[in-house]
Amino acid sequence: MPSASLQIAIDHYLQFVSKSCSENTYRTYSQALRKFMAMLKKHNVDSNQASPADVSTDWVGWYVTLLKPHAPSTESLFLTAVVGFYEYLAAEENVPVNLTQVRSMLKRRQRKVTPRLPQFPREQIESVISYVNTIASAPSKADKEHLRRLRDRAFILTLSDTGLRISEACRLTRGHIDWEEGRAIVTIKGGRESVVRFSARALSAVKVYLRARAELDGATGRTLASLPVFARHDDGAGKKVLRLNTVGARETVNKAVIGALGENARGTITPHSFRHYFVTVVLRSSGGNLKLAQELARHKNIAITQRYAHLSDDDLDRGYHEIFNRRSGAKED
């Protein structure tokens, strides 16, 4: 039976998204639907008064027009969210939506998104890794500061050496990790379970951090397996062991980037940059083994992995000179 109002149907849809998708996807879809509802209001459609049965293909056309000033990638994301809502109405609320007409309209009117090559500032990321290694070994004035430094090193090495997305890393609990095998079973994008492997340096950093946190963990009264791997160490958390959320994790990365590269580097490296770095390192070290990279990065489609399998102009220059100049010892006249 359809929801009592369009607004309630949208709320139910977003609840469905929150349970089946990542935090980032939920945040994007929520933003897209808020914009969609604001647009309907300007067309005199009140989402609290309208019924799900009132949905119209015209609404999608209006939304396409509204999104024109945005980048094609943003347009694509927001339209995917709204089409997902139409599909939800058809499948879950038995609303007779003409999905064929909706898709036909988008095929005609939606702009094509030009695939962008992933950006991975390899040298800068390695500078950030060196920085967190150094700062973790430096003397700290307070216990919380010491724990933060150990956590930040463990978190950044986990991102760079496992390929975990930020939300996946934040959701890790101590019970997820098989310490003997150096791997963890995690719930990844789309609600699937997958095995993630830890490098020796990442696992060692996590162990050092958790040993330093042992007193806090022991005082919680909870089983160790249920506690988060990465916890907050701020005044708000006090002596509680609270999970580091994605907002705090982004700030952790940002502070390390600024510490390693300076204030001008703010925002140039994000948590997802470490995932790009991970895939690139795998490809470079495996001789371009796409299947291996796909499995380790947990890409559903190998076409996603192929986006990383390119060489920059600098790589081509180095390769060319290695083959034709350095090998023969040739010099310019």
Residue 221 makes CB contacts below 8 A (sequence gap 6+) with none
Burial label, 270 (beta-carbon count in 10 A; 0-12, 13-18, 19+): middle
> For the chain, where do the domains classified as CATH 1.10.150 start and end?
6-109
66/36 Cα distance (integer angstroms): 9
191/208 Cα distance (integer angstroms): 30
Residue 184, H or E segment: strand 183-187
Residue 221 has what pLDDT?
Answer: 92
Model pTM score: 0.61
* Helix residue ranges per DSSP H, 141-219: 143-162, 166-171, 200-212, 214-218
Residue 204 has what pLDDT?
Answer: 95
pLDDT, tens digit, 9 for 90 and up, residues 116-137:
555 567 889 999 999 999 999 9
185/188 Cα distance (integer angstroms): 9
Strands 177-178 and 183-187: antiparallel
Confidence of residue 24 (pLDDT cuts 50, 70, 90): confident
> For the chain, where do the domains classified as CATH 1.10.443.10 start and end?
122-306
159/252 Cα distance (integer angstroms): 12
Higher pLDDT, 24 or 88: 88
Confidence of residue 319 (pLDDT cuts 50, 70, 90): low
135/61 Cα distance (integer angstroms): 53
CATH number for the segment(s) 122-306: 1.10.443.10
Which of 15-24, 93-102, 176-185 comes out lowest in average pLDDT? 15-24
Percent of residues, the chain, with pLDDT higher than 70: 85
For residue 77, CA distances in Å to 32, 198, 276, 323 come to: 8, 32, 20, 44
For residue 151, CA distances in Å to 112, 159, 265 come to: 42, 12, 22
Query: Looking at the predicted structure, is the pLDDT value of residue 7 above 50?
Result: yes
Which of 87-101, 111-125, 202-216 comes out lowest in average pLDDT? 111-125
Q: Chain-wide mean pLDDT for the chain?
A: 85
- Write down the architecture of domain 6-109 according to CATH: Orthogonal Bundle (1.10)
